[in-house]
Structure 1
Amino acid sequence: MNAIIEELEVSFPAGGSCAVRAVYEPTDPFAVQLQFNVPREAGDCGAAAPAGADEDVDQWTTWVFARDLLALGMNKHLASMRMQVGEGTIALGPGPTGDQITVVLCPADPGKRVVMYIRRAELEELLVRSVQLVPFGQESTRLDLDEEFRALLRKSA
């Protein structure tokens, strides 16, 4: 099965936008990735720069979170109550308009907190397509835990 890759347009409260890829891989069925093309002048958004990175070149920064969190963040009932979900480094909630979702990235450095808006329809499309590939409740059938364990043992040897 192939990964789902959605190109998203993200906007920020202070204006501006950046390119974002939302990725769902059936081989990592519990997770969704948001990959940001971050201009170097914007900082690292909580991720370490790759070794040998050119200071003048943009980089891709990846944030990984639970697909269940995305589903919960898309819940229109919670949105009607203006509730945000997520207590860790990523939180989702209703956007300033009904057709947007607010995504908050909270790296360890509070000074680098990022708030952005993503169109609800784009995230719904990713979620629907991911459920078509791996239905909720079937994620563990896609994992080869024995192989994962062997890989860990190989790395530690």
Structure 2
Amino acid sequence: MRITIVAVGKLKEKFWTAACDEYLKRLRPYTKVTVAEIPDVDPARAGGIEAAREREGEGILAAVPESARAILMAIEGKQRSSVDFSQHLDDLALCGESDLAFIIGGSDGVSDAVRARADETFSFGPITLPHNLARVVLLEQIYRAFKISRGEPYHK
């Protein structure tokens, strides 16, 4: 399985970078994960929130591999437990979905074009997370999913 994390915004603080790097390192034995950072667009400079979303959306769509199943991280998306998420990834792999792209939008959400490209939506629940933290949580949950799937210790 190949996984691409498409995220709006750059990790600026070292603690976010360190956390992401740790999970990327832990994931290496299980899957290939790449991260595509899309520059965030200042709405004041872009001509408004919608224009900023559109510009970010163009970058997101360009970064999602054409053959990938696109999974948009959205508050209104389907909520899954860690075990259910692991099973879902296994089911996708069994159905031949070996290329996944998780999309984390910017602080003002994503464009309609990005929503249209998404094959499904996934949510960590009805809470709002900063996109930096959402990236760390997503990487951790992907790592946890692989550990669960293989029956290895980590998930409790």
Larger Rg: 1
The structure showing larger relative contact order (alpha-carbon pairs under 8 Å, at least 6 residues apart) is 2
Fold shared by both chains (TM-score > 0.5): no
Which structure has more helix as a fraction of its residues? 2
TM range (shorter): under 0.3
Which structure has more strand as a fraction of its residues? 1
TM-score after normalising by structure 1: 0.25
TM-score after normalising by structure 2: 0.25
